[in-house]
Structure 1
Amino acid sequence: MAVGRRSVCALAGAAVLGLNLVISSAALAQASVALTVDANVTNYPATFFTEFRPVTALDMIGRIPGFQFDGGTSGRGFAGTVGNILIDGERPPVRSDSLQSILSRIPAAQVVRIDIVRAGAGGIDMQGKAVVANVIRRPDGGVSGSVSASVTDNTQGRLQPNLNLQARRQWDGRSLEASLSAYQGSGDNHGIRERRSPTGALLLLARSQGVFDFHGVSGTTVYEGPFGGGRIRLNGLVDVNGSGYEGDDILIVPFGRETSLSESTQTKGEIGLRWTRSLPLGATLEVLGSQQLIDNDSIGSYDTPDFTSATVSDGWRGESIGSGSLKFASLETPWGSIDFEAGSEIAFNFVESGTAYLFDGSPLLLPGDDTRVEELRSESFVSGVWTPRENLSVTGALRYERSRITTTGSGGGAETDLSFLKPRLNVAWTPAPGHQMAFKLERNVDQLSFGAFQASAAFSTGIFGRGNPDIRPAQIWLTQARYERVFGRQGSFVAELTHEAYDDVLGQVVVFETPPGYSTPRQYNVTRNVGTATRETAKFTGRLPLDSYGMRGGIASATLQLRQSETRDPVTLLERRLSGEQPVTLSLGLSQNLVSQGINWSVSASTARPGRSFGPSTLSRFSIDPTFNAGLSWRPDDRLSLGGGVTVSGGSNNEFVLFGAPRDRGVPVYSETSRSNGTISAYGSVRRSF
């Protein structure tokens, strides 16, 4: 393991040295044109983006040097899901409406400027982020909208159309917007499966082919305006989508056929609100609320010459969140300014699932096939920002979380009370214009893994899982150091070093139980809290303008991520990396903006992505081949945008080993390899604004 760490450090050092040499030479010839408001806020006015002819705010975000878009995560409550984008200084209150979608609905013509805010800026709640982008819109932009459509074709001859409609009206400090999108598509895949015994004897050889399809319709609406002496934002979202798959494996050895069918639909609805109001003495009150409901239905079957099986599942889940916070006016002291904020959040989550299994026409009962899980959680916090100097800030926060998890169903019942103290420390320092250093230390709690409460069945391998009513969410201590260098109009270099220490990591082990109606014990996989883990990540991103190298408007970009993780395997008790971890990822890109022609073109490539997964009775290796992309966009005027491109998706290789018992004492039964071919797809798009 020490050798692996030295390799990561060596690669990281080489990457930093090489990129810094390039940046240093380029920085001598170019100076930043962004307007610096103070040491913690850099202002990019609309005129900064004019030469790039952006269509939406999302296009503008992609042109800001050094900024890395973060769309947020599916974490706990509002505080656990925030990304690094603000709209007029505030975060949208709807969790399902992605930041990417929200930005794509804001026309570039209605953006006054974008502020890049670093930790320590007064009046901005960073939520633990080192950098956020604050999109400032025009208060009264009249009526605007767009119609866009795209179609994708691939080597399987499957067309995938997409249609999107957007409309917006702004008047007297109010705005009303709505969007509707619809998509559908299909495709097929081909591959080869080969299964061999531990001695190398051929057990199975099959030619695999499958056809999949997907479709969806989504609608959103947003209202903003004055209310109750403050401002209110109301969001609504409805999304309906579905997918299906038909797989057919022609067995050459032995002779026969295997078929698989699956079909699923999901209906989602969500409403959210945010209300803010100024209070006396410079304080600000913010109230957030959200209600989300999701219905999932699925059916599936898997038939072989040896058996038949079927699965019918019905799931229903929801989340209710309410929160309030109070921001106080800055306090000026001889030692610098201090900002305070305090607040509290309460959330209720539930997941209800029922699954029926059939094996050779007879019902198969599994512990956890009918389950309801409820989580009632509250979190209170207090935070403060101390700015002793204009270029130095220290942010401290203390959050306290309490939750009660209640489980009922065929897997058993349990009630668990949990509490976590979650401190956070951020330090930001700007030693010189264009240079920023940040340090972060915080404790987080993962989202509760609701799937661990439910049963599972893999008929192809004979592995069945039982639900566990008594699990805890994993906790993470995160330490991160970040360095950012911005130069020229588009040049940047960002280095991030992150250490994560996990407690109560979830992992799968084997248990033996006698199910109802049976006289002998059966082997089940079960998810439990199994111990600790660590992960080190080094991530480097760079963008180098090529104007001084003879390519006007050109930008070369690169992203390198190195990961090293370690945990104790809950089955073998040996040290290994985390399951599914990809140690090295690298992507390269080249683009050019031709201002006079209104054309922008780009090419990019990503390296192969290998990884390993570990199950109680299985070992898997997988690798995704390199992927290549090429795109071209043309804006003949301010209202029309045309685009197109080609994507060459790499194939995948998978190796799967099944053991006859848990890996610590079992021997391999067989190993199976499969190969899926890559695809070449081309797309065309058109967008008309009004």
Structure 2
Amino acid sequence: MEKSLNKRLSMLGALLCTAAASASAAPEYTDSQSTIDPPQFAVLNYDGQALEQLYGQNALDKIEQIPGFALVQNTASRGLSAAGGNVLINGAMPASKSESLSQILSQLPAAHITALHFYSTGHPFGSVSQYNQVINVLTHTSSITTNWQAHSKLTSAYQSYRPSELAAQLSVPIDVWQHQINVHYQDDRHQSVSSIASQSAQQVITEVGSEDFFEKLNSRLLSLNSTRQQTANRLILSAKTLQDDWQTDFNRLYGRMYHPLNHTWQYNESIDTVEYEFSADWLKKLGQGKQLQLVALQNKKTTNNHSVTTETGEQNDVFKQYKSHKEQVMQFRFAAPHSLLKPEFGIEISRNQLDAVTQTSGSQIASRVSEIRYLPFVAFTYTMNTQWQLYTRLNTEHTKLKSTTASTHRSDLNFIKPLLRLSYESKHNWDFALTARHHVDQLDFNHFVASQDAGFDRSQSGNHRLQPSQFNELAAQLNTRPMDSLFISLKIFNQWQKDIHEIVTLTNDSAGLGNAGNATLLGSVLSATLNTDNFLSGSQLSLDYEYSTARYHDPLTGTRATTGLTPHSASIEFRRDMPNYSWGIDISLPESATYFYQDEIFVERDHTEINAFGEYSLSNTLRVKVAINALNSAKYTYKQTYFDAKRGEIFDGETRFDEQVQPVVTLSLTGTL
């Protein structure tokens, strides 16, 4: 069956290339908005002077300054419908699995942006119909340009001065084609110092010590993106190669209190990743505004993990793991945005396979996970009048999943995932949207294989019987501008979750991620932006706050929150943007998250963190920026509470880590040639 799917994907790919070739004879396309962005929704346009007032070096900088907009980017690893986020570039979602949406936006220079269109409650883009808010970035380059960036972190993690990041984008327009070559090099380093104290169940200090942590990411990226924009056709071809080398070192010196610290513990880990990706996105405009879209993607990623744990008086513990992940995706979509109900339908077909070989504790485990997914969908939009609109979408999924370790497990998964959204656009500076949907999370293949966290002395077995978690959600979002200088966005949601993922005892009596039952989650997201021109010209004050609470019945400890929940998250930013310079300061308030393991409760807390930046235009083609992260030194607290046998039983002591990261100054230069 897998060979049959490969043939079908190859045939669809051939059809895509044939259609793209036939598009080359069409006349040149000059106005991207008129074809892809029909003016049937209320939209806030940032162009001309309004765009210039969004100070920044790239698309990400400018988008983050738009009041009321929250960037959403998916981290799901498979398929196209689960990738990307709520920002489009010239009406198209970037088809990439090797880079996040924020990375792609940060590579789009501000000089290439002609307009930003912000849709707050409704939009005409079927590829991102699951989002209420969407921004469409319009670009145009008529001449050959080169944009470059150079960043250097001035921190003791670098023994000598050296760049931490170098990037260049070369844009070359040729006839109706727009080519962009992107080269990116990163040598990012991080270090911290921690104090450690452990105590027994009788609250007697058993061990004290200190730990030095060092982390380095060396990354190289080369990508080519070619866009052909015409009256009735748009073709985007993309090729990328990415190589990451990740190194992590823990050095711990410890001993008993009032005794010499004569024990050492070291953990050294290296993860090498190589990734190749090819994608094609073809959009054809048919008669009466109808649209036909075909997207194809192929991705291959290999990861080699090698770690060694060394402890005084103990034999070295070696962990090795090699993983190879292959993915082929084909997506078809048809839409008629100018028809009465604006129908759209399509299907996505994908094939994924992960092969892993894990060596640990003198044994070797070979694992394979393969999956074939069919995701057909249909959607309609009913515009009641100029203010009310109803959007309905029915997503379905049929997945054949096969996982093999010592034994083979097969699953046929079938889901129906409806979405219903009712939106209202007032004539008096406010709008709201009500959304009801059923969502199915995507399985992470990495949870099917063994893993370890040596830093906190934990390991987990893979669970090849893992099922996806899912939830029903009811959400309401309100955007309002009670006065010209104040914009407020509020979202409230409630989720009824099923088959949630928690650490459980597996059939082989080891701990691993499993399906643990049901839970409820209630949350809210508040964003407010106040224009403070009366106080200081060109300035604004922003507040972001998120609240979440969950109830899950734990068989070990009773009702509790779900693992990893962050109840409160808040940040405040004040910035001033002037024609030639910009500066700002932001404060992140303390957060905490709790993680539950079989014999341990792990709590992670951070403290108030202050960041600041200043940017100045030296000329029309050169900018300099200085940013200070953790101006007040970042502090983190990690607390492990142990229990005898199982969590919820006899208290068996605790360990506390107090980590501190010194301020990091980053000097950046951005230029255009």
- Taking the TM superposition and a 5 Å limit, the aligned residue runs for 1:581-600 are 581-595=565-579, 598-600=580-582
**Distance in 2 (alpha carbons) for counterparts of 1:144 and 1:463:** 50
Which AA in structure 2 matches 1:454?
A: V
What is the identity, as a one-letter code, of the residue corresponding to 1:608?
P
SS in structure 2 at match of 1:58: helix
- The aligned counterpart of 2:432 is 437
Counterpart residue type for residue 328 of structure 2: S
Residue 548 of structure 2 corresponds to 563
Structure 2 counterpart of 1:686: 669
Residues 438, 52 of structure 1: CA spacing in aligned structure 2 closer, same or farther, 3 A cutoff?
Answer: closer
Between 378-387 and 669-678, the greater mean CA deviation after superposition: 669-678
1:72–1:84 contact (8 Å) kept in structure 2: no
Q: Give 2:614's aligned residue.
A: 632
CA distance in 1, matches of 2:307, 2:542: 44
Q: Is contact 2:251–2:267 with CA below 8 Å preserved after alignment?
A: yes
| Cα-Cα RMSD | 2.4
CA contact (8 A) 2:84 2:94 kept: no
Distance 1:96 1:60 in 2: 23
State which drifts further: 307-316 or 371-380. 307-316
Displacement after TM superposition at 1:118 (Å): 4.1
Residue of structure 2 aligned with 1:114, choices 87, 106, 116: 116
Query: Cα distance 1:76–1:364, how it changes in 2: closer, same or farther (>3 A)?
Result: closer
Q: Which has the higher contact order (CA 8 A, sep 6+)?
A: 1
Structure 2 residue 517 is the aligned partner of structure 1 residue 534: no
After superposition, the C-alpha distances for 1:280-307 in whole angstroms (9 at most, x for unaligned) are 3432110011111111111111122353
For 1:371, the aligned partner's letter is S
Indicate the residue corresponding to 2:360 in structure 1: 357
**CA-CA distance at 1:352 after TM superposition:** 1.2
Pairing 1:175–2:171 present: no
CA shift, 1:133, in A, is 0.7
Identify the residue that residue 10 of structure 1 maps to in structure 2: none
Deviation at 1:453, TM superposition (A): 1.6
The one-letter amino acid paired with 2:573 is G
1:215-237 CA-to-partner distances (Å, cap 9, x unmatched) read 11111110111699732101111
Q: Matched residue of 2:327: which SS?
A: strand
Query: How far off is 1:122 after superposition?
Result: 4.4
Instruction: Give the Cα separation in 2 of the matches to 1:607 and 1:599.
Output: 27
After superposition, give the CA deviation of every residue in 1:150-194 in whole Å (9 maximum; x if it has no partner): 101225555552111110022433100011011113343222211
Per the alignment, residue 20 of structure 1 pairs with none
The offset of 1:210, in angstroms, is 3.2
Specify the alignment match of 1:12 in structure 2. Answer: none
Structure 1 counterpart of 2:70, one-letter code = Q
**Is contact 2:154-2:667 (8 Å) kept?**
no
Instruction: Give the Å deviation of 1:602.
Output: 0.2
Amino acid at match of 1:313: Q
Structure 1 residues 126, 388: CA separation in 2 closer, same or farther (over 3 Å shift)?
farther
The within-5 A match list for 1:40-119 is 40-74=42-76, 76-119=78-121
Judged with a 3 Å threshold, the aligned counterparts in structure 2 of structure 1 residues 118 and 677 are, in CA distance, closer, same or farther, namely closer
Cα separation, 1, equivalents of 2:499 and 2:481? 39
Contact 1:189 1:677 in 2 (8 A): yes
* Structure 2 CA distance for partners of 1:565 and 1:489, relative to 1, 3 Å: same
Is contact 2:250–2:455 with CA below 8 Å preserved after alignment? Answer: no
CA distance in 2, matches of 1:129, 1:47: 28
Shift in Å, 1:570? 4.5
Matched, 1:480 2:481: no
| 1:278 maps to amino acid | K
Distance 1:117 1:457, change over 3 A: closer
- Please list, as runs of the form range in 1=range in 2, the aligned pairs for 1:138-287 lying within 5 A after superposition: 138=140, 141-154=142-155, 156=157, 158=159, 161-225=164-228, 230-253=233-256, 255-287=262-294
SS in 1 for 2:60: helix
Q: Which residue matches 2:33?
A: none
Give runs of aligned pairs for residues 517-666 of structure 1, distance below 5 A.
Answer: 523-548=509-534, 550-572=535-557, 574-595=558-579, 598-648=580-630, 649-664=633-648, 666=649
Q: Which residue of 1 aligns with 2:135?
A: 133
Q: Deviations over 1:600-632 (max 9, x none)?
A: 000011111122111011111221111111100
* Structure 1 residues 262-294: Cα deviation after superposition (integer angstroms, max 9, x where no partner): 111111111111011122343211001111111
Conserved 8 A contact 1:371-1:408: yes
Q: Which moved more, 1:523-532 or 1:385-394?
A: 523-532
Partner of residue 33, structure 1 = none
Assess, with a 3 A threshold, how the Cα gap between structure 1 residues 433 and 141 changes in structure 2: closer, same or farther.
farther
* Residue range with higher mean Cα deviation, 267-276 or 69-78: 69-78
1:92 Cα deviation from its structure 2 partner: 1.7
Deviation at 1:415, TM superposition (A): 0.4
Match of 1:389?
385
Q: What is the rounded CA distance, in whole Å, between the counterparts of 1:82 and 1:553 in structure 2? A: 32
Question: Quick one: structure 1 residues 453 and 250, their matched pair in 2 at CA, closer, same or farther if it must change by over 3 Å?
Answer: same
Amino acid at match of 1:593: D
- Which consecutive unaligned segments of at least 5 residues does structure 2 have? 1-37
TM-score relative to the length of structure 2: 0.88
1:214 maps to amino acid: L
Corresponding letter in the other structure for 1:558 = L
Alpha-carbon shift at residue 357 of structure 1 (Å): 1.1
Name the counterpart of 2:330. 322
Residues in 1 aligned to 2:89 and 2:623: alpha-carbon distance in whole angstroms? 24
Q: Which consecutive residues of structure 1, in runs of 5 or more, have no partner in the other structure?
A: 1-35, 332-336, 514-522
**Counterpart of 2:24?**
none
1: CA distance between counterparts of 2:602 and 2:514?
20
Deviations 1:60-95 (CA, angstroms, capped at 9, x unpaired): 323322222223332652222231111111212223
Distance in 2 (CA, whole Å) between partners of 1:623 and 1:63 is 28
Is the 2:176–2:230 contact (alpha carbons within 8 Å) kept by the matching residues of 1?
no
1:636 counterpart SS class:
strand
Measured after TM superposition, the shift of residue 213 of structure 1 is: 2.3
CA contact (8 A) 1:39 1:430 kept: no
Mapped to 1, the partners of 2:418 and 2:435 lie a distance apart of 11
Separation (CA, whole Å) in 1 of partners of 2:179 and 2:625? 29
Does the aligned pair in 2 maintain the 1:39–1:391 contact within 8 Å? Answer: no
Secondary structure of the structure 1 residue equivalent to 2:104: helix
Give the superposition deviation at 1:124. Answer: 5.3
Q: Which moved more, 1:417-426 or 1:501-510?
A: 501-510
CA distance in 2, matches of 1:318, 1:104: 27
Alignment match of 2:399 (pick from 400, 403, 418)? 403
Tell me how far 1:44 sits from its aligned partner. Answer: 2.1
- Distance, in Å, in 2 between the alignment partners of 1:151 and 1:508 is 40
TM-score w.r.t. the length of structure 1 is: 0.86
